[in-house]
Amino acid sequence: MTVGSEESYNLDTDPLTGEASEANDENSLETQKRFKSLQYSYLTVYLTVMGSDWLQGPYLYKLYTTYGLAFDQIALLFLTGFLSGAFAGTALGSMADSWGRRKVCMLFCGTTITALCIRLWNVYPVLFLSHMLSGASTALMYSVFEAWYVAEHTARGFPAEWRSQTFGHATFLNGIVAIVAGLVANQLVDLFDISAPYIFACMLLSFAAFMISTTWTENYGEPQGTVSGGCFFFFFSLPGTNILLLGCAQTFFETSMYVFVLMYTPAIENAALTIYGYDQSSTIPLGYLFATLMFAIMTGSMVFQTLNRQSNVPNAPALMRYVTKDRLLIGALFLAGVTMLGLAYHLFEFTTGIYHPSISSLKAENIPEESRAAVMTLLRIPMNIAIAIIFWNVSPYPPFFKKNQGIHPFFDRSMSWANPCSLLCAGS
């Protein structure tokens, strides 16, 4: 599987004479204008939605510690979210092809706002409900929005090669949004309290819902683009396609990525406590750390776009493989100090910046339009189940915050998932 370059499609050249014509120039400018308009419409919503998600990132673990929850209780909440994503989220996402992807994107906004509001209620059973809702909505965020864009891109007659440009821009700009979100979250907590980022995230989601309702058109899959249709394609047509390979790659890499989301805050706090003697009541600037991690993602996306312009995207997974090996080596040495731990984090996020536009472009190329949302959500089931299994086994690592115990084997296990992904992508 390969992802092409936008340079491979030249709208300005007459196919018979090989010379540019005035008519083709006008058509090219008009096509570019329509393409940029679609990009703007999609990226405005996508980046707003991602901004709402990034606002929660730096302080989610900290919010739960202020509630007095132990780590195994927090892990159980995360487990609930991923199981919800595997089942409820998959069912909702699969129906997007028949219900309408625009409608389901708006459903995502409403569901996530509800989840964030009740997350501020310090009642443990209510927090389970919050994660059930957010787990289902996360499955929609990483499938239906992308499915809507790919369908619109195809329906408007734009070259397939241009999709990778949009996905590259999305990853790069998402890094900028994440940096800003990390800084804003830090300031909101300093000015108000730890609930402020969640309230602001609800405001962003309300704006995203408004933009979807006023600027997006509805699109659907074929009539068979339902849960049953998606399952039929998935189980009977999959062996003859590259989709199984993509699903394995997604499972391996994103499992490590989501475990990292849970692990990086307690790991950095533990390192600061055991090495530098930080008092547990001290405030570590997690928002600023988060911002630098997102800069690493931006750097990875820039590498992807450079390779894409050179029609050399197949080398991106290979690059990710070698960087992953370096990251694994540093991850094995992270107990040497906070500096090594921070370097391991940033290398991890660099590979993530390469991974996201690569996998999105490959899925757009290989998943059929009639069941796109259904198949994309079905591909997330193994990942959600794998993460749930890992979180279920957090308890065998007590005492979790004691030096040389707990964090290292668990963190190292999450790192090891990414190498098979790199090998699979390189072989695709």
Is 18 a residue whose pLDDT tops 50? no
Rounded to an integer, the average pLDDT of 161-169 is 88
pLDDT at position 402 is 42
216 versus 243: the higher-pLDDT residue is 216
Joined together, the tokens standing for residue 312 give: 């050399």
Query: What is the rounded distance in angstroms from the CA atom of residue 134 to the CA atom of residue 130?
Result: 6
Task: State the amino acid at position 291 in one-letter form.
Answer: A
Residue positions counted in the chain: 428
Which sign, positive or negative, has the C-alpha torsion 365, 368, 370, 373? negative
Q: What is the mean pLDDT of residues 161-171?
A: 88
Q: What integer pLDDT is reported at residue 405 of this predicted model?
A: 43
Give the whole-angstrom CA distance, residue 201 versus residue 53: 7
Concatenating the DSSP letter of every residue in 112-141 gives HHHHHHHHTS--HHHHHHHHHHHHHHHHHH
Which stretches of 16-162 are DSSP H helices? Answer: 22-56, 60-66, 71-84, 90-99, 101-119, 124-141, 144-155
Q: How far apart are CA 193 and CA 205, in angstroms?
A: 20
Between 142 and 11, name the one with better pLDDT: 142
Contact 359, 246 (CB under 8 A): yes
Half-sphere exposure of 159 (CA within 13 A, CB side): 16
**CA separation, residue 128 to residues 142, 163, 366 (Å):** 21, 38, 36
Stated pTM of the model: 0.75
pLDDT in tens, 185-217: 888 988 999 999 999 999 999 999 999 999 999
Query: What is the per-residue pLDDT across 121-139, written as a single tens digit (0 to 9) for each?
Result: 999 999 999 999 999 998 8
Shortest CA distance to 153 belongs to which of 46, 35, 47, 43? 35
Rounded Cα distance, 49 and 152, in Å: 19
State pLDDT tens for residues 379-401.
888 888 887 787 776 543 333 33
Question: CB-based contacts of 291: which residues, under 8 Å, 6+ apart?
Answer: 178, 179, 180, 182, 183
Residue 89 has what DSSP assignment? I
Would you state the pLDDT for residue 128? 96
Most confidently predicted of 74-83, 167-176, 269-278, 283-292: 167-176
**Which domains are delineated in the chain?**
32-427 (1.20.1250.20)
Whether residue 272 has pLDDT greater than 70:
no
pLDDT at residue 36 is higher than 90: yes
